[in-house]
Amino acid sequence: MIKKIQSIYQTSIEKTEVMSGLAPLLLRLIIAPVMIIAGYNKLNLSKEGVGFFESLLADENVVAWFGNADWGLGLPFPDLLAFLAGWTEFLGGWLILLGLLTRLVSVPLMVTMFVAATQVHWHNGWFSVAPANPDTSAAQVFAWMGSDTAQKSLENSLEVAERLERIKSIVSTHGFPEYLYEKGNIVILNNGIEFAAIYFAMLLSLFFTGGGRFFSLDYWFARKASNDS
């Protein structure tokens, strides 16, 4: 009986294998535009009135942020690093979108996400947007396990809720709440590592799976190479 169940299970898994490319496709569609626009905004590509070669360089404001130790990252060789980061994200994002050299390009993109998480967002904790309700915060799960850090996060959520209520009260009294809330509710930006960590995990998955069956150029090039050999 157990062997029969195992056989049915294995057969079912094998039949779904034909659609195994869907998951990598969805990951690529989510992360590629993020990388493309992040790289685009680090470069002079969008600037008008600059020469061709200058347009390929990193934006001077980004270079300053990379190099300044007081209000920026304080990294050495900021011109070079900003240039490399911009083109890694911009060009790498397009390759991810097409599913071309997926495994290869995932590596430098993971490096950029690691640097972003550790150098830019680390001191802000995990959440990108500060939770205002401790009962619905993901930190609650770790608090159940006895994590002191998670418990502090839940206490922080109470403080966030208090500040949001004060903001809403001020807006209600002195502002234009219908206009200000028309496009969505207000939040407190925490700017933690959440998004960088999620993107890193997505890229790590693509490193192991590749671009996926049917929906990537990698698949079709590999298939053609196999047929030609």
**Cα(204)–Cα(108) distance, integer angstroms:** 11
Give the CA count within 13 Å in the CB-facing half-sphere of 42.
24
Q: How many CB atoms lie within 10 A of CB 4?
A: 8
**Cα(107)–Cα(202) distance, integer angstroms:** 11
* Nearest partner of 112 among 87, 78, 79, judged by Cα: 87
Give the CA count within 13 Å in the CB-facing half-sphere of 153.
25
58: which DSSP letter? B
**Tokens representing residue 128 in the block:** 């990108």
* Nearest partner of 112 among 134, 93, 125, 97, judged by Cα: 93
Cα(first)–Cα(last) distance of the chain, in Å? 44
Give the CA count within 13 Å in the CB-facing half-sphere of 203.
27
Tokens 């009260």 -> residue: 169
- Return phi, psi of residue 156, to 5°: -65, -35
**Cα(72)–Cα(86) distance, integer angstroms:** 16
Continuous segment of H or E residues that includes residue 210: none
Beta bridge partners of residue 189, listed in sequence order: 129
**Tokens representing residue 69 in the block:** 């130790």
**Cα(205)–Cα(2) distance, integer angstroms:** 32
Written as tens digits, the pLDDT of the chain (229 aa) is 777 777 777 777 777 788 899 999 999 999 999 999 999 999 999 898 889 999 999 999 999 999 999 999 999 999 999 999 999 999 999 999 999 999 999 999 999 999 999 999 999 999 999 999 999 999 999 999 999 999 999 999 999 999 999 999 999 999 899 999 999 999 999 999 999 999 999 999 999 999 999 999 999 999 999 888 7
**Cα(7)–Cα(101) distance, integer angstroms:** 36
Provide the phi-psi class of 191: left if phi over 0, else alpha when psi is between -120 and 50, else beta.
left
| pLDDT per residue as tens digits for the range 209-224 | 999 999 999 999 999 9
Give the chain's length.
229
